[in-house]
Amino acid sequence: MLFSLRHPERLWYTSREKMPTSGTSYWVLTGDQENWRRGISDRIWGVVPGLQSAWEALQRGDFLFFYAKAPASRIFGTGIVRDKFRQDRPLWIDEIEAGKVLYPHRFTFEIVSFIDEDRWTSEGVHPEAVIPVRAGMNRIANAENIEALLAQTARLLAVQPSPTEEETKTSSLHDQVKEKLREIGRLQEYLSETECKINGERLDVAWRRVAASVPQKVFEVQVSGNLYAAIGKLKKAHVLWNSQPFLVLQRAERPKADDLLAGSFVEIKDSVIVRDIEAVDELYSRVKRADDSRRQFGL
């Protein structure tokens, strides 16, 4: 069953930010992996003069699908248009090598969902619907194709509809906390993702500033299960990437975590920040309120 375009915010928005209106347009941005590294890091895209008419039609609040060309040939993220402008400064690698601006018609965007580059080929979305991907900026005109792509990317990029009251009651506490941490990171301008790969395992949440970099902050959410394994993954991220590790758990699990950090994992005892789930809830509320205030101010 496909989701209705009348309520696209139920697919993509987990904070009370400005929602797309009925006039929202949907675009596929196409580029190679090298140019996407800069685009994602700087939250900016640009197109050639031949696409000026498409760029002029682009509006603040339009919805974007990020498509990486071969060898990935997948959609790896989504975003929302912020501001557009012309610029005469080379930014992307091919512009710098050419010594001139190739993509003068530019715009900034806010990242809604994102998976890191190592996962583009294996976990990115290969569109089932026929959508345009040849140009650097492609408008999707067919409503059925938009619905299909929204449903497909929502499923594979792990960005779920805003839960109803009944869904919230039955959903996993573990998943709720992971999603809050992902959203907190996104609102703090991090590239925030869940299920970050590390040596055959997956960290619950990871935040990075630059697409091609390792995560700066990593999180394991421990509601039940193997606490030893969770701390082990944090240690691995700290040793391999020098990431700041966070362990989020239920208050009753704190003594057990303290024992492990004083014993088996004593070498990272002073590096791991341990927080209760309630602290995540409080931070999430504060960050959302701050973001709402910023948007109401017009920033």
> Rounded to 5 degrees, what are φ and ψ at 225?
105, -150
The pLDDT score that the predictor gives to residue 158 is 52
CB 25 within 8 Å of CB 47:
no
The confidence band for 169, taking pLDDT boundaries of 50, 70 and 90, is very low
Share of the chain above pLDDT 90, in %: 56
The confidence band for 209, taking pLDDT boundaries of 50, 70 and 90, is confident
Q: Residue 126 is encoded by which pair of tokens?
A: 């290969």
Average per-residue pLDDT for the chain: 85
Whole-angstrom CA distances from 195 to 33, 34, 47, 207, 246 are: 21, 23, 32, 11, 15
Any idea what the Cα angle at residue 89 is, between residues 103 and 33, rounded to 5°? 50
CB 219 within 8 Å of CB 246:
yes
Asked whether the predicted pLDDT for residue 105 surpasses 90, the reply is yes
Asked whether the predicted pLDDT for residue 292 surpasses 90, the reply is no
Whole-angstrom CA distances from 238 to 11, 241, 246, 275 are: 33, 6, 10, 17
pLDDT digits (tens, 9 = 90+) for 263-275: 999 999 999 999 9
CB atoms within 10 A of CB 205: 26
What count of residues does the chain have? 299
> Rounded to 5 degrees, what are φ and ψ at 198?
-150, 105
pTM: 0.60
Asked whether the predicted pLDDT for residue 162 surpasses 80, the reply is no
The pLDDT score that the predictor gives to residue 73 is 93
Asked whether the predicted pLDDT for residue 167 surpasses 70, the reply is no
